[in-house]
Amino acid sequence: MSRQEAIDATLASFDDGRFQQTLARRVAYRTESQDANSGPILLAYLNEEIAPQLAALGFTSRVVDNPIAGKEPFLLAERIEEGAAFTVLTYGHGDVVRGYDAQWRDGLKPWEIVVEGNRWYGRGTADNKGQHTINLSALEQVLAARNGKLGYNVKIILEMGEEDGSPGLNEVCKQYAAELKSDVFLASDGPRVSSSRPTMFLGSRGVFNFNLHVELRDGGHHSGNWGGLLANPAIRLSHAIASMIDAHGKILVDGLRPPEIPASVRAALADIEIGGDPGDPEIDPTWGEPGLSASEQVIGWNSMEVLAFTSGNPAMPVHAVPPTARAHCHMRYVVGSDRENFLAHIRKHLDDHGFQDVELRSNEVRMAATRLDPDDAWVRWALASIEKTSGKRPALLPNLGGSLPNEVFSETLGLPTLWVPHSYPACSQHAPDEHILGDLTREALGIMAGMFWDLAEQGPSVMKERK
């Protein structure tokens, strides 16, 4: 069989309904990792749904316990060929956020696929059951087209706790590092830059959460008796935040700003447009770091956000000077930022500006920033493969604007990381009415079949080029 015949066979699995049937079966598993009682369902998804398909493709697999007590399990699988030139590691997660069943609009159910025109609704269709089902379906057809011979090994790690913060993922990869040893990482999660443009990203911005508290006294005091005499914690905290970021979103703390955007990153972002799809918010043109394009702002730069701000009783305000104020903040940051010293930079800045009364509290929600060099040989190979199949110039993002546990693969396992997403920005992941697009899904199946085929034909030369 030829490359095109393998792609055509993969597209046929979409056209004749086999792909939809498989995905519908997987969506029906209520794999809500944020539900403490979901353990048996999470295991069933791995043992009853994923493991049998992998076994039919020649994989050996096993479910391993999470090193963190009470947390979600993992499936490790491998397909080893004698004389294989290299090894590919892929990844997915079978867990989903809560279904929020009652919040879906009439006619839709989170645990059933409902097709309305180009939209396929169902929890997990976009994040991430649909995406790893696309990849496994494409791999299945390429294996059949090549008579079961790829010329490379494939290893898989599927987790069931990504929506719970991926607890234990790094520990499992450390524990089973020898078993997971590979040469390149290829997986799918997150959205394309737009529904019509194939996309690849090479890492993700990191996330760093922190809290600011001002606690001035034990209770509130009547503003008619004490207003003008007692410091207001909300006003103090507002000014403290304003000293850190200006009225247009520019970060004012030097230690929270990233280094200059590398030339290779600027070049990759030069033709990337952010927003513009139906359902996307309108971009505020004067927000953020002056002189940067929209793509540079969200992919090549750091942002500081205030996620929540409370003081007094917002639901039922009273005429009293409140005793406390709290702000929950976070950073999205890129490679090269001084993450290890973010807290020290914030503390020094607050002290230097007279805000010793603002308490800085760390938050354990953190992910590292990662980015593969856009000039890497694997990147050039992948872009060429995607373009050959789709006939479109793919968007290359040096890193995703959001955060993924990519550091586990790029740092702990030391792999070049290629992410080819199969969703789009307005897919409503994590919200009611989550969906994928039929035409995007069909195109993605063809793209992944082309990539798995091209790995067999061109992967050995890429390995030599990187040495």
Q: What is the CATH number of the domain that holds 327?
A: 3.30.70.360
- Is the residue at 270 inside a domain? no
Same domain for 376 and 459, yes or no, is: yes
Confidence of residue 339 (pLDDT cuts 50, 70, 90): very high
Which of the listed residues 328, 349, 366 is the one where a domain comes to its end?
A: 366
C-alpha angle 326-327-329 in degrees, rounded to nearest 5: 155
The pLDDT, as a whole number, for residue 291 is: 96
Which is more confident, 273 or 172? 172
Q: Do 218 and 72 share a structural domain?
A: no
Domain assignment of residue 266, yes or no = no
Q: What confidence score (pLDDT) does residue 107 get?
A: 97
pLDDT tens for residues 72-123? 999 999 999 999 999 999 999 999 999 999 999 999 999 999 999 999 999 9
Domain assignment of residue 351, given as a range: 206-258+302-366
Given a cut of 90, is residue 428 above it in pLDDT? yes
Of 366, 392, 418, the residue that ends a domain is 366
Dihedrals phi, psi of 406, to nearest 5 degrees = -70, -25
For 296-324, give one letter per residue: b (16+ CB within 10 A) or e: bbbbbbbbbeeeebebbeeeeeeebbbbb
For the beta sheet containing 303-311, the strands, ordered from the edge strand earlier in sequence to the opposite edge, are: 303-311, 324-333, 206-215, 359-367
**pLDDT reading at 280 higher than 90:** no
Residues 26 and 163 reside in one and the same domain: yes
Give 39's DSSP letter.
H
Residue 284 resides in a domain: no
Check pLDDT > 80 for residue 279.
Answer: no
The pLDDT value given to residue 367: 85
What average pLDDT does range 425-431 have in this prediction?
93
Kindly state whether residues 321 and 405 are assigned to the same domain. Answer: no
| Whether residues 212 and 200 fall in one domain | no
Cα 181 to chain centroid distance, Å, stands at: 22
What is the rounded CA–CA span in Å between residue 397 and residue 429?
20
Q: Which residue, 344, 366, 388, sits at the end of a domain?
A: 366
Helix-, strand-, coil-residue percentages of the chain, each rounded to 5: 35, 20, 40
Residue tagged 């491998």 (tokens): 78
Which residue reads 């030829």 in tokens? 2
Across the chain, mean pLDDT equals 96
pLDDT reading at 363 higher than 80: no
Longest dimension (CA), the chain: 86
pLDDT of residue 403: 82
Of 32-36, 244-248, 280-284, 449-453, give the lowest mean pLDDT range: 280-284
CATH number at residue 101: 3.40.630.10
C-alpha to C-alpha distances, 204 to 282, 407, 408, nearest whole angstrom: 23, 9, 12
Mean pLDDT of 417-427: 96
Fill in the DSSP letter of residue 164. G
- pLDDT tens-place string over residues 380-409: 999 999 999 999 999 999 999 888 889 999
Examine the domain organization and report whether 102 and 173 are in the same domain: yes
pLDDT level of residue 362 (50, 70, 90 thresholds): confident
Residues 216, 186 share a domain? no
Q: What is the mean pLDDT of residues 354-364?
A: 92
Any domain includes 269: no
pLDDT of residue 275: 81
* Percent over 90 (pLDDT), the chain: 94
Q: Say whether both 348 and 216 belong to one domain.
A: yes
Q: Which residues contact residue 184 at a Cβ distance below 8 angstroms, ignoring those fewer than 6 apart?
A: 86, 87, 88, 89, 378, 415, 416, 418, 459
Shared domain for 319 and 450, answered yes or no, is no
- Verify that 306 and 349 share a domain, yes or no: yes
User: Among 72-86, 226-240, 263-277, whose mean pLDDT is lowest?
Assistant: 263-277
pLDDT digits (tens, 9 = 90+) for 176-206: 999 999 999 999 999 999 999 999 999 999 9
Is 42 in the same domain as 131? Answer: yes
Give the total number of structural domains in the chain: 2
Closest of 422, 460, 426 to residue 441, by C-alpha: 422
Q: What is the DSSP letter of 251?
A: B
pTM: 0.89
Does any domain span residue 360? yes
Assigned domain for 287 exists: no
Cα separations in angstroms, 68 against 31, 65, 164: 19, 8, 13
**Quick one: average pLDDT of 35-54?**
97
- Mean per-residue pLDDT for 129-152? 98
Q: Is residue 136 part of a domain?
A: yes
Q: Is residue 359 domain-shared with residue 376, that is, in the same domain?
A: no
| 285 in any annotated domain | no
Residue 365 has pLDDT above 80, yes or no: no
User: What pLDDT sits at residue 178?
Assistant: 97
